[in-house]
Chains A and B, each alone.
Chain A
Amino acid sequence: MNDVRAQSLIGRVMAAASLIVLGACGGGGDVAAPPPEVQRLTIASVVVEEPATGTVYFSHDDHWHGFPTVRTGNSSRYLVHFVKQGRSPDDHDMPPRNEWFTLATRGDHSLPVVIEDPSRARWLGDRLGGTLFGDASGASRMSLRVFRGSTTVWEAPPLNFIVR
């Protein structure tokens, strides 16, 4: 009789312990996690490529390496790639090309670009890239954001550029 009681007690203790362990280590509060069919987009940095010249500008934490230049009255076309893997603060190397990806398969995402001084330049683009039109000489900045629907998924640091 005592054995039966003890076994019953053990069973209860183990069940309770399993529940506690499962509950405690569930990944830090995924209660509000999106449904499994929605794949969250992870972005660490953005790579802007100028196909005409092969020049590449890329963001790293708060800053950019490189800056676009466009001539007054002219335009330049840019492709926008992203990188998932972040880099250490003192690793200023360009992310390897095999890590780049675009928003091509992300039909619900968009890439709005805002020019700080709209009298200086204009941007016309889609989620794969765009064209920068130089209107007046000088420097300005552009902000690149990734939207899913109307929600900001990621924002790059402001990218300085020159209109010459």
Chain B
Amino acid sequence: MRGATLLKQGVRLVAASCLLTACEHPIAVVTPHAEVADLVFSDSASAVVFMRTTDNRAWNASPLVLCEGDTHTLVPKPLDFRGMPVDLVSRRDLEIRGESVQANVVWEPLRGRGWLIALASGTTRVRFLVWHLTHADLVTPWLDVQVQPRAACTRPR
């Protein structure tokens, strides 16, 4: 009888020590994917659409013509499958990444916006990704870009 009591106490002690010293691995916090169908870039000053995809198959303006040395401040707006905007600012786990085949164009993301910078003249292709922590929720098609030499630019900066 006393042995059984001792056994019970022992089991409780072991259980308690297991709980106290148990693994401290945190529970992973999973944030939902962004259900994105299209990506729209607007000029930050005028709010005019600078470039956008349609059904994520094509860009509205291809090739995109830029001027050497220009920096365009753009507001990226992902659209869901109903065409409704996905709020990027409230999602700290999402970012808009940019890739350029050549080094003459670079995308520099900022909070809620980004800079598309034409570093040097020449042609390249760029694409953008809605990046969710470790993977892309959306990858746009490649967009042809022509960067004109500063002297050849006719458009106002």
The residues of A with any CB-CB pair to B shorter than 8 Å are 2-3, 5-7, 9-10, 13-14, 17-18, 21, 24-25, 28, 61-67, 88-92, 116-117, 137-141, 158, 160, 162
Contact = CB atoms under 8 A, between A and B. Distances in A.
Interface residues of B, number: 41
A92 B17 contact: no
Nearest to A64: B108
Contacts of B103: 116-117, 139-141, 158, 160
Interface of B is mostly: mixed
Interface in B117-141: 117, 119-122, 131, 133
Contacts of B6: 3, 6-7, 10
B104 A17 contact: no
Contacts of B4: 6
Given A21-B17, A138-B122, A92 B110 contact: yes
Contacts of B112: 90
B3 A2 contact: yes
Contact of B108 (A65, A88, A116, A117): A65
Contacts of B93: 89
B119 A162 contact: yes
- For chain A, what secondary structure do more than half of its interface residues adopt (helix, strand, loop), or is it mixed? mixed
B129 to A, nearest CB: 9
Interface string B2-41: 1110110111011001100111110000000000000000
Given A14-B14, A17-B14, A18-B17, A138 B104 contact: yes
B3 A139 contact: no
Contacts of A158: 103
Contacts of B21: 21, 25
A13 B22 contact: no
